[in-house]
Amino acid sequence: MLNRNLLAQLESSAGLWVAGVLSGTSADGIDVALARFAGSGGPECHAFRTVEFPAEWAQPLRRVLQGEAIELGPLVRLHQGLGRAFGAAARDLAQAANLPLDLVGSHGQTVWHFDGVGPPATFQVGEGNQVAAEAGVPCVHDFRTADVAAGGHGAPLAIHADLRLFGHLERPLGTLNLGGMGNLSILPGAEAGAPMSFDTGPAGALLDGLARALWQAPMDRDGRWALAGTVNEAWVRGLLDHPFFAEPPPRSTGRDTFGAAFVDRFLAQVGPSARPEDLMASAVEAVARSVAQALEAFVQPRPKRLLVAGGGVHNPALMARLARTTGLEVVSSAAFGVDPDAREALLFACLAVDFVRGRTARWPEVTGAASFPIFGKACFPPAASAQG
């Protein structure tokens, strides 16, 4: 019934209004985008904002993401509480924008992701039934585990939105999302085969981790500390001296590999006398170089342009280093009508619509899956009265 009713609305003149909701690996708030889908067209984003985590969940979540041990009871409560927060974020955005809301695609917050050792696994908190109850509309959630069950990494999934958002542009085209981790997608030319998408390594997880450790700040706003520093080549090589960077796609990573412990090890290696601004400049260089090295090693033919989204797009030092190290035209996705902060939220809105359509993954080789999963599970808001 979910699919039948929503499919009819998708094909109607009103279209289907879908909120994509997530907290990315940077964990700096809840991103929510509200988009209209009509027919076979891509998303038309009508509203977006980032809201703070409710105070009662912000610190417990930060501790989990930093690798601190947590008892099962508090973890379950965090799972339920964040689900309510994600649902409320979708509902409140629709109400504030005076727009309809028919469906939520909720990614949740990744708290553990396969790091290349052992069998693939991934876990996101933010219970889908709580999302649906708070938003008052059906919710599609838990997008990654179907891919894991099919033998894949569960990531990256970005290509499923990028082809709809940027597929009309000249190709081959690179798209780079700079959240907690960097994710690179390649949209091929007409005769260049299947698209590619893989993680490049840490981005905000490293840079924001240094900002917290060195300045007790959430980020290097406007890249000012990096711009004031000098790159130390030995430090850059040390940051990139990790086996992940040599792994060929399919590959994905997360905070379990490049989180707080990685930042702490780096700071211990350089010692307390290191100038903080030089540390930040070197880290920015390492992030940019990880992208350039991945392009050189794994991507042929190379794109001429790299569209950048995610929080890293607001760091001028990082954008300049990307242009220098890759030799490509590096531009914000905003130049082509896509809010760089909304891009990931739009991804999960797209995947929710794919679920409604019963559409399988088109390129399982991107994640290493052996078959063609349908991403997501459906949850429904409580009924006002007994049904059936």
Per-residue pLDDT of 55-75, as tens digits, reads 899 888 988 888 888 899 999
Joined tokens for residue 190: 């007409």
Residue positions counted in the chain: 388
pLDDT at 2: 64
Q: Is the pLDDT of residue 385 over 80?
A: no
Q: What is the pTM of this model?
A: 0.94
Q: Where are the domains of the chain?
A: 2-157+342-379, 168-336
pLDDT of residue 388: 61
pLDDT of residue 326: 98
pLDDT at 264: 96
What's the alpha-carbon Rg for the chain, to the nearest Å?
20
Res. 41 pLDDT band, cuts 50 70 90: confident
Task: Name the CA dihedral angle for 378, 367, 329, 279, rounded to a multiple of 10 degrees.
Answer: 100
pLDDT of residue 304: 92
Q: What mean pLDDT comes out for the span 124-137?
A: 97
What are 68's two structure tokens? Answer: 């601190």
pLDDT in tens, 300-309: 999 999 999 9
pLDDT of 116 reads 73
Q: Is 69 exposed, middle or buried (0-12, 13-18, 19+ CB in 10 A)?
A: exposed
Q: Check if the beta carbon of residue 131 is closer than 8 Å to that of residue 142.
A: no
Split at pLDDT 50, 70, 90, the class of 26 is low
pLDDT attached to residue 367: 92
| Helix residue ranges, H only, 143-301 | 145-149, 159-166, 204-215, 224-227, 233-240, 255-258, 260-270, 276-298
pLDDT value, residue 336: 96
Burial of 335 (0-12, 13-18, 19+ CB in 10 A): exposed
Q: Give the Å distances, CA to CA, from 238 to 67, 234, 242, 286.
A: 22, 6, 8, 9
Q: Into which CATH architecture does domain 2-157+342-379 fall? A: 2-Layer Sandwich (3.30)
pLDDT at 98: 98
Q: Which of 97, 108, 101, 112 is nearest to 130 (CA)?
A: 108
The yes-or-no verdict on residue 187 having pLDDT over 60 is yes
Same-fold call for 2-157+342-379 versus 168-336: yes
Return the CATH superfamily for domain 168-336: ATPase, nucleotide binding domain (3.30.420.40)
Above 60 in pLDDT, residue 1? Answer: no
- pLDDT at 285 (0 to 100): 98
| Angle in degrees, CA 155, 160, 166, rounded to 5 | 125
The amino acid at 128: G
CA neighbor of 92 nearest in space, from 26, 10, 141, 34 = 34
pLDDT at residue 338 is higher than 80: yes
